[in-house]
Amino acid sequence: MKLRRHFLKLTVAAALGLTAVAGQAADTIKIGEINHYKRMAAFAGPYKNGIELALSQINDAGGVLGKPLEFIYRDDQGKPGEAIKIAEELMTRDGAVMLTGTILSNVGLAISSFAAEKKYLYLASEPLADAIVWSKGNDYTFRLRASTYMQAAMLAEEAAKTGATKFATIAPNYAYGKDAVAAFKKALLALNPDVEFVTEQWPALFKIDAGAEVQAIEAAKPDAIYNVTFGGDLAKFVREGTTRGLFEGRNVYGLLTGEPEYLDPLKDEAPVGWTVTGYPWYDLTDDANKAFVDAYMAEYDSGPGIGSLVGYMTAQSIASAITRAGSTDTDALVAAFKGLEVETPVGPIMFREQDHQSTMGAFVGTIALKDDAGVMVDWTYKKGEDYLPSDEEVAKLRP
C-alpha cells in the first residue's frame, strides 16, 4: 500500500506540475467547501474523505504554487439561505479564494446565483440540475459531476433498446427531479417517438408516501418505470414496490440507484434487474481507477462511494486550475477552468468552455445480489462528452 500511495503522489505531482518551493511562506490556499454534512451524512462523509485523500497527495507532493491547499468545511443544513450566508463568510472573513460543494440542486443553484452576483468562483461538485450550467448558467460557475441530462440520456439509450412504449416516472418534486424527468423524456422520445408517458409522480423530497405512489403507478399499467428517488425515499419506494409486485415483469431504470451511498443501505432488498447509474468500485481493474480505490481503502478501511470519487476529483480539479492560472485571482481562475483538462481516476476530463460542464461520465449497469447485498453487474463506463449537447444547442440553452 505504501508503494501504491507513493505512486499516486508522484502521479498527482506530475499531472499538476507541482514542485516544492523553498522559502515560501507557510500560509495556505483556502477553498470554501459548503455541504449538507449532517442532513446527508451518508453521501457527504465519503465525499469529504475523497477530498482529504486528494489533499494529502497534493500537499505531500509540494502543494499548489508552493503552498498547501486547504479546504474549510462548513455545514449549510441543506438550506439555501444558510448556504449563501456561509459563502459570504468564507470569502470575506475566512480568506477562501473560491467556493465548492453542495449535493442538493436547490442549494447549488442558490450558491451559483450568489457567486454570479458577487463575482466569486464556484465549482459545483455534485449538484446535478441542468439549470446550473444551462438556463441559469453564469461566467463564475462550473460543474464537475455528470449532469442530470447526461445520466438520464444514458438510461434512455438503454430503455430504447427494450421496445417498451408505456412509461411511468417518479421523481422528487424539486429542481433535480424535474430536470431528470424532462431530460429522460426528451432523450427517449428522440430515440423512440412511439413512447407514451402514462403517469408522472412527484413526491415531496424526503417525504414520500410510498404506498400511494406505488398504487398510482400500478393503476397506470406502464410497461416500464423511470425512478429518480434516492436516499430514504428510494428505500421506501423499493420496499413498497417489491411488496406489491410493482416491478415484476417491468423494466425499471434508476438514476443514481446503483451508487453505494443509496444501494448499500438496501442490503438484500436491492431491486434486482434494475438498470441504473452508479459506481461499481469493487469491480474496477484498470490502473487509474484501481489506484484510487486501493489508496482510499488503505486510508479509510472501507470502499469508496461515488461521493468519494467526486470529492477526490473536486480537489484534483481545483489544484489543476490554480496551477494553470498561476495565481488565486478570480478572473485568472475562471479563465483557467475554461477548457481545463484534468487526469482523474476515470480518465481525462475537460471543463467545456461553452457551458462550463465537465466531461466526467458515469457507470451504467444492472443491479444483482451478491452475498445478500446489491451490486452493479454488466456495467460500462460511458464518457460524458458523448452525451452533451452541441455548441449550437448550448447557445440556445444558456442566457
pTM, two decimals, is 0.91
Residues 349-376 as b/e (b if ≥16 CB within 10 A, e otherwise) read: bbbbebbbbbbbbbbbbbbeeeeeebbb
Q: Give residue-wise pLDDT tens across range 330-349.
A: 999 999 999 999 999 999 99
Q: Are 115 and 87 in contact (CB under 8 A)?
A: yes
DSSP for residue 289: H
Q: How far is residue 98's CA from residue 233's CA, in Å, rounded to a whole number?
A: 33
Q: Give residue-wise pLDDT tens across range 168-218.
A: 999 999 889 999 999 999 999 999 999 999 999 999 999 999 999 999 999
Give the model's confidence band at 7: pLDDT under 50 very low, under 70 low, under 90 confident, else very high.
very low
pLDDT above 70 coverage of the chain, percent? 93
CATH among 3.40.250.10, 3.40.50.2300, 3.30.420.40, 3.40.50.720 for 149-283+363-397: 3.40.50.2300
Give the model's confidence band at 23: pLDDT under 50 very low, under 70 low, under 90 confident, else very high.
very low
Which three cell numbers, joined as nine digits, stand for 336? 483557467
Is 9 strand, coil or helix? helix
pLDDT at position 88 is 98
The three-point CA angle 178-380-198 to 5° equals 35
DSSP for residue 203: P
Alpha carbon 48 to its chain's center? 13
Q: Give residue-wise pLDDT tens across range 225-274.
A: 999 999 999 999 999 999 999 999 999 999 999 999 999 999 999 999 99
Q: How far is residue 22's CA from residue 14's CA, in Å, rounded to a whole number?
A: 19
Is 95 strand, coil or helix? coil
Q: How far is residue 347's CA from residue 247's CA, in Å, rounded to a whole number?
A: 35
pLDDT at position 3 is 42
CATH among 3.40.50.300, 3.90.1150.200, 3.40.50.2300, 2.170.150.20 for 2-147+285-360: 3.40.50.2300
Which three cell numbers, joined as nine digits, stand for 108? 447549488
Q: Are 71 and 58 in contact (CB under 8 A)?
A: no
Question: At residue 2, does pLDDT exceed 50?
Answer: no
Question: At residue 92, does pLDDT exceed 60?
Answer: yes
> In angstroms, what is the C-alpha Rg of the chain?
21
Is 342 strand, coil or helix? strand
Is 44 strand, coil or helix? helix
Q: Give residue-wise pLDDT tens across range 272-303.
A: 999 999 999 999 999 999 999 999 999 999 99
Q: How far is residue 293's CA from residue 106's CA, in Å, rounded to a whole number?
A: 31
pLDDT at position 175 is 87
Q: How far is residue 232's CA from residue 202's CA, in Å, rounded to a whole number?
A: 15
In sequence order, what are the residues at sequence separation of 6 or more whose Cβ sits closer than 8 angstroms to the Cβ of residue 182? none
167 torsion bin: left (phi>0), alpha (psi -120 to 50), beta (else): beta
Is 245 strand, coil or helix? coil
Max CA distance (Å), the chain:
72
pLDDT at position 383 is 97
Is 248 strand, coil or helix? coil
Q: How far is residue 216's CA from residue 238's CA, in Å, rounded to a whole number?
A: 15
Which amino acid makes up residue 188? L
Q: How far is residue 159's CA from residue 183's CA, in Å, rounded to a whole number?
A: 13
CATH fold match for the domains 2-147+285-360 and 149-283+363-397: yes
Is 28 strand, coil or helix? coil
Residues 274-298 as b/e (b if ≥16 CB within 10 A, e otherwise) read: bbbbbbbbeebeeebbebbbbbbee
Order of strands across the sheet that contains 196-201: 196-201, 166-170, 224-227, 251-258, 275-278, 362-370, 373-382
Domain segments of the chain as ranges: 2-147+285-360, 149-283+363-397
